[in-house]
């Protein structure tokens, strides 16, 4: 069968980094590239020149046509399928010429800015007998498909009830920049309610059936009326009180058409009380299903999703979730996987795994009914007294968390112990961002690593009832933004693809900052991971003979075991619960014969810190090597109450680590497929990130 010839509207000449207009580069383009089912033959952007720049940037064939007018692309006889990848407020105007020219069409979700627009497009497509697809790719997700199969099979009997408690994407203060304003307005159709909640709602009804619309009741609430709006590069503040009307909390109840009561509660929160951010339960006459995930965006492939069920008779069963297979040659990130699977289903005519205009319209109507039932009609008007300062440097993003009664305790496989809340000073921890995450994971995890540190550290603090002890700020040191050391209690330096011995101005400036903090602010604690560990070691221990260099053993990837220095475990009893190491790892030099506890964490490094060779003392004063792995002798450094560093990453999970390895370490750079496969396998081992997060949190706040 000949491939479907594709024309894409809105694929910009930008790197695939999450932001306005990025979905085309991140998910849509990779779905078509190298696919035997599709061929990209044309692009249309704001001008033909812009389209040509995009063709060149994305390395598309020179034969790809460049258009600056939607009508021209829509009328091109060589185009079979038009893909609309523009902001939702333009969907109607861009899609109408496509339908008029009788083309197959894909439109990102939402289909229109309102149910009325969606209905207009649906009727036109239906009257023309046109094949359509909408970007509700959650229908192709492994969890959605498995849930639907179990319900449809009757294995749990008839549905008696279903309930969901989930989260909406959280965007911290300072996130909003020019170009994202539409997301703040509930009436644009492109906001947390219509996009984040709307994606899940479509999968929900796809699994359990439609609502009886007459039974619906709902409550919607926004946390704030205004937000700060910055220039795109965050160099200055445009509006200190830009209006916000999109809801942050959504509660829906009703009766399904099959008679079962249903409840959905979605919240916006910077942190969840455990690793489980969302839970969906379906109760039947013969058993019950439970699905859980970390609360990330539902429509995106997420390895945290898990499923189990129990019948009236028999043991609880955990279900293995397996994503569909893509055609050979198609390479997409985890972020784009479900989109690629939906396009694969469209090419094969498998309507069970993608949504068309008619099914998307049903979702629009349901969302509009929920909105009306809630009585939520917040005005989107500018306050006349809003302040517009010309600049704000540096940008600070603050998070503060308050413990809940009974929030202490441990989750399976993680350390126990609680701290009695007191009137102790809240510690200000400044996180210094030294890099951004690879594009493939930014949709799930955000752009900066600091969000992952905050997530892991606050979860650990919650488990030991210590959330009241810390606040966090984040600083982009690559851009030259630093905290005042006099205002902080601890600094945390993230990992980076940069090397500690690089001479880039920002690396040298960060080294000078570390030195100044250490020498002139003795109460400020210093922590670093990977690059941060190496730079701290270079700056503070180079005068004592330590060097940062290429590791002679090569690269260390995936979950590896560190044999911890027993002296370290004495200072941090929370590490004593770790199992004794069974690997032939390097012991800390000052305790070669003592039994060690093994700490398993994700690794991704090719450099290491080498200590001074004999006869010189390896470390000065009270400094310690935290321990070593079979590959690397120095996996961290510790000076009591002042400095702690670790080579591995407690903040990274398997997805982040695997996608990072895929991005930076390729066969083209000399890494063999066999070596990379071993690295990927190693990322999937069980780790002790929960233990490490508690250990690091205790160090940072001094408990």
The CATH number assigned to the domain holding 163 equals: 3.30.360.10
Whether 546 and 690 share a structural domain: yes
Whether 118 and 152 share a structural domain: no
Task: Judge contact between 492 and 700, C-beta under 8 A.
Answer: yes
Count, residues in the chain: 703
Q: What pLDDT score was predicted for residue 164?
A: 98
Q: Which of 140, 497, 184 is nearest to 300 (CA)?
A: 140
Query: Count of alpha carbons within 13 Å of 504, Cβ hemisphere only?
Result: 15
Task: State the burial class of residue 545 (Cβ atoms within 10 Å of its Cβ: 0-12, 13-18, 19+).
Answer: middle
> Does residue 102 form part of some domain?
yes
Whether 125 and 143 share a structural domain: no
Residue 292, pLDDT above cutoff 60 = yes
> Does residue 294 form part of some domain?
yes
Buried b (16+ CB within 10 A) or exposed e, 560-569: bbbbbbbbbb
343: left (phi over 0), alpha (psi -120 to 50) or beta: alpha
Residue 391, pLDDT above cutoff 90 = no
Whether 562 and 613 share a structural domain: yes
Mean pLDDT of 358-370: 97
Helix, strand, coil percentages, rounded to 5, for the chain: 35, 25, 45
CATH number at residue 461: 3.40.50.880
Peptide bond into 110 cis (omega under 30): yes
d(CA 383, CA 385): 6
Residue 642, pLDDT above cutoff 50 = yes
Position 15 confidence tier, pLDDT thresholds 50, 70, 90:
low
- Give first-to-last CA distance, the chain, whole Å: 66
Position 596 confidence tier, pLDDT thresholds 50, 70, 90:
low
d(CA 450, CA 488): 16
Q: What pLDDT score was predicted for residue 541?
A: 95
Whether 31 and 116 share a structural domain: yes
Phi first, then psi, for residue 701 (nearest 5°) are: -95, -5
Please identify, among 109, 130, 151, the residue that sits at the C-terminal boundary of a domain.
130
Between 473 and 401, name the one with better pLDDT. Answer: 473
CATH number at residue 84: 3.40.50.720
Q: Across the chain, what does the average pLDDT equal? A: 87
Q: What pLDDT score was predicted for residue 329?
A: 86
**120-129, 172-181, 388-397, 466-475: segment of lowest average pLDDT:** 388-397
Each residue of 246-278: pLDDT tens digit? 999 999 999 999 999 999 999 998 878 777 889
Whether 515 and 441 share a structural domain: yes
DSSP string, 194-256: IIIIHHHHHHHHHHH--B-GGG-EEEEE-S-SEEEEE-TTSSSEEEEEEE--S-SEEEEEEEB
Between 662 and 585, name the one with better pLDDT. Answer: 662
d(CA 44, CA 67): 4
Q: Which of 478, 474, 485 is nearest to 435 (CA)?
A: 478
3-class state of residue 415 by DSSP: coil
Phi first, then psi, for residue 230 (nearest 5°) are: -110, 165
Query: Count of alpha carbons within 13 Å of 643, Cβ hemisphere only?
Result: 27
Rg (CA), the chain: 27
> Does residue 110 form part of some domain?
yes
Q: What pLDDT score was predicted for residue 144?
A: 98
Position 230 confidence tier, pLDDT thresholds 50, 70, 90:
confident
SS (H, E, C) 416-433: CCCCCCCCCCCEEEEEEE
Residue 206, pLDDT above cutoff 60 = yes
Please identify, among 106, 130, 154, the residue that sits at the C-terminal boundary of a domain.
130
Mean pLDDT of 666-673: 90
**297-301, 385-389, 535-539, 550-554: segment of lowest average pLDDT:** 385-389
The tokens for 446 are 């955000």
Between 296 and 161, name the one with better pLDDT. Answer: 161
Q: What pLDDT score was predicted for residue 172?
A: 67
Q: What is the residue range of 254's domain?
A: 139-320+357-374
d(CA 61, CA 43): 11
Residue 588, pLDDT above cutoff 80 = no
> Does residue 408 form part of some domain?
no
In sequence order, the 6+-apart residues with CB closer than 8 A to the CB of 349 are none
Q: Which of 378, 370, 377 is nearest to 218 (CA)?
A: 370
Mean pLDDT of 283-302: 92
> Does residue 538 form part of some domain?
yes
Position 614 confidence tier, pLDDT thresholds 50, 70, 90:
confident
Q: What pLDDT score was predicted for residue 419?
A: 37
Count of structural domains within the chain:
3
Whether 106 and 168 share a structural domain: no
Q: Where are the alpha helices (DSSP H) in 261-356?
A: 337-348
Whether 145 and 45 share a structural domain: no
Whether 179 and 68 share a structural domain: no
> Does residue 546 form part of some domain?
yes
Total Cβ atoms within 10 A of residue 672: 9
pTM of the model: 0.63
d(CA 100, CA 511): 61
Position 394 confidence tier, pLDDT thresholds 50, 70, 90:
very low
d(CA 674, CA 667): 10
> Does residue 589 form part of some domain?
no
Whether 480 and 575 share a structural domain: yes
Per the listing, tokens 């439109």 go with 107
> Does residue 413 form part of some domain?
no
- In whole angstroms, how far apart are CA 419 and each of 397, 457, 575? 27, 15, 16
Phi first, then psi, for residue 252 (nearest 5°) are: -135, 135
Each residue of 521-560: pLDDT tens digit? 999 999 999 999 999 999 999 999 999 999 999 999 999 9
Task: Judge contact between 701 and 469, C-beta under 8 A.
Answer: yes
DSSP string, 130-189: --EEEE-GGGGSHHHHHHHHHHHHTTT-SEEEEEEEEEEPP--TT--BTT-GGGG-TTSS
Residue 390, pLDDT above cutoff 90 = no
Each residue of 84-122: pLDDT tens digit? 999 999 999 999 999 999 999 999 999 999 999 999 999
Position 20 confidence tier, pLDDT thresholds 50, 70, 90:
low
Mean pLDDT of 138-151: 97
Task: State the burial class of residue 350 (Cβ atoms within 10 Å of its Cβ: 0-12, 13-18, 19+).
Answer: middle
Position 586 confidence tier, pLDDT thresholds 50, 70, 90:
very low
**294-308, 441-455, 624-638: segment of lowest average pLDDT:** 441-455
Whether 483 and 434 share a structural domain: yes
Residue 320, pLDDT above cutoff 60 = yes
In sequence order, the 6+-apart residues with CB closer than 8 A to the CB of 664 are 438, 497
Task: Judge contact between 678 and 399, C-beta under 8 A.
Answer: no
Residue 691, pLDDT above cutoff 70 = yes
Mean pLDDT of 665-675: 90
Give the percent of the chain with pLDDT over 70.
Answer: 89
Give the percent of the chain with pLDDT over 90.
Answer: 68
Q: What pLDDT score was predicted for residue 424?
A: 55
Mean pLDDT of 325-352: 93
Strands 4-9 and 81-84: parallel
Q: What pLDDT score was predicted for residue 377?
A: 61
Between 577 and 153, name the one with better pLDDT. Answer: 153
Whether 464 and 567 share a structural domain: yes
d(CA 438, CA 497): 10
d(CA 76, CA 51): 15
Q: Which of 441, 117, 153 is nearest to 304 (CA)?
A: 441
The tokens for 507 are 């690396």
Mean pLDDT of 611-620: 83
Strands, E assignment, 53-146: 65-67, 81-84, 104-108, 132-135
Task: Judge contact between 482 and 394, C-beta under 8 A.
Answer: yes
Mean pLDDT of 311-336: 89
d(CA 542, CA 514): 13
d(CA 522, CA 509): 20
Please identify, among 130, 148, 177, the residue that sits at the C-terminal boundary of a domain.
130
Residue 402, pLDDT above cutoff 90 = no
Task: Judge contact between 428 and 524, C-beta under 8 A.
Answer: no
**29-43, 159-173, 204-218, 633-647: segment of lowest average pLDDT:** 159-173
Residue 590, pLDDT above cutoff 60 = no
């Amino acid at each position: 069968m000949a491939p479907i010839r594709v024309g894409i509207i809105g694929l910009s000449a930008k790197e695939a980094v999450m932001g306005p207009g990025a979905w085309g580069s991140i998910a849509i383009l990779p779905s078509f590239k190298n696919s035997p089912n599709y061929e990209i033959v044309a692009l249309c952007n704001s001008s033909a020149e812009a389209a040509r720049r995009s063709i060149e940037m994305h390395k598309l064939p020179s034969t790809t046509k460049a258009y600056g007018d939607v009508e021209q692309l829509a009328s091109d006889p060589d185009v079979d399928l038009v893909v609309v990848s523009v902001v939702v407020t333009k969907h109607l105007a861009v899609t109408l010429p496509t339908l008029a020219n009788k083309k197959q069409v894909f439109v990102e979700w939402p289909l229109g800015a309102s149910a009325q627009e969606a209905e207009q497009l649906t009727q036109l497509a239906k009257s023309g007998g046109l094949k359509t697809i909408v970007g509700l790719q959650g229908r192709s997700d492994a969890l959605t498909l498995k849930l639907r199969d179990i319900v449809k099979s009757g294995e749990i009997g008839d549905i008696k009830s279903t309930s969901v408690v989930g989260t909406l994407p959280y965007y911290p203060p300072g996130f909003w920049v020019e170009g994202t304003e539409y997301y703040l307005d509930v009436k644009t159709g492109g906001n947390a309610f219509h996009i984040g909640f709307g994606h899940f709602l479509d999968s929900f009804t796809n699994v359990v059936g439609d609502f009886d619309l007459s039974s619906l009741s709902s409550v919607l609430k926004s946390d704030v009326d205004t937000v700060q709006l910055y220039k795109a590069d965050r160099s200055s503040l445009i509006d200190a009180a830009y209006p916000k009307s999109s809801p942050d909390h959504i509660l829906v109840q009703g009766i399904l058409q099959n008679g079962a009561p249903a409840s959905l509660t979605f919240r916006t929160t910077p942190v969840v009380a455990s690793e489980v951010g969302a839970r969906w339960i379906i109760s039947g006459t013969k058993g019950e299903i439970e699905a859980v995930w970390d609360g990330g965006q539902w429509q995106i492939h997420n390895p945290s999703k898990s499923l189990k069920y129990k019948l009236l008779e028999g043991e609880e069963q955990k279900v293995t979730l397996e994503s569909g297979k893509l055609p050979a040659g198609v390479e997409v990130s985890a972020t784009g996987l479900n989109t690629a699977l939906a396009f694969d289903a469209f090419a094969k005519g498998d309507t069970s795994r993608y949504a068309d205009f008619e099914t998307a319209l049903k979702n629009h109507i349901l969302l509009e009914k929920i909105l009306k039932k809630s009585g939520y009609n917040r005005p989107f008007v500018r306050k006349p007294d809003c302040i517009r300062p010309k600049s704000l440097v540096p940008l600070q993003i603050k998070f503060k968390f308050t413990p809940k009664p009974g929030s202490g305790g441990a989750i399976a496989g993680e350390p126990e112990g609680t701290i009695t809340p007191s009137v102790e000073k809240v510690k200000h921890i400044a996180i210094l961002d030294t890099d951004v995450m690879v594009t493939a994971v930014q949709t799930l995890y955000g752009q900066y690593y600091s969000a992952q540190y905050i997530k892991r550290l606050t979860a650990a603090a919650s488990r030991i009832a210590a959330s009241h002890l810390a606040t966090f700020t984040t600083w982009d040191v690559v851009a030259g933004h630093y905290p005042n050391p006099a205002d902080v209690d601890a600094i945390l330096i993230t990992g980076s693809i940069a090397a500690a011995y690089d001479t880039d101005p920002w690396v040298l400036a960060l080294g000078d900052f570390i030195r100044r903090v250490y020498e002139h602010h003795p109460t400020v604690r210093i922590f670093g991971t990977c690059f941060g560990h190496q730079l701290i070691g270079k700056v503070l221990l180079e005068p004592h003979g330590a060097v940062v260099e290429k590791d002679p053993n090569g690269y260390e990837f995936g979950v590896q075991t560190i044999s911890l220095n027993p002296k370290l475990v004495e200072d941090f009893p929370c590490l004593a619960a770790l199992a004794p190491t069974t690997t032939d790892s390097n012991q800390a030099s000052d305790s070669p014969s003592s039994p060690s506890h093994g700490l398993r964490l994700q690794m991704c490094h090719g450099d290491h810190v080498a200590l001074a060779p004999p006869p010189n003392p390896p470390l000065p004063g009270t400094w310690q090597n935290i321990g070593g792995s079979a590959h690397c002798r120095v996996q961290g450094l510790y000076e009591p109450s002042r400095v702690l560093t670790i080579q591995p990453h407690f903040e990274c999970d398997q997805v982040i680590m695997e996608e990072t390895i895929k991005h930076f370490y390729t066969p083209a750079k000399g890494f063999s497929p066999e070596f990379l496969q071993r690295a990927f396998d190693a990322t999937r081992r069980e780790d002790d990130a929960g233990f490490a997060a508690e250990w690091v949190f205790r160090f940072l706040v001094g408990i």
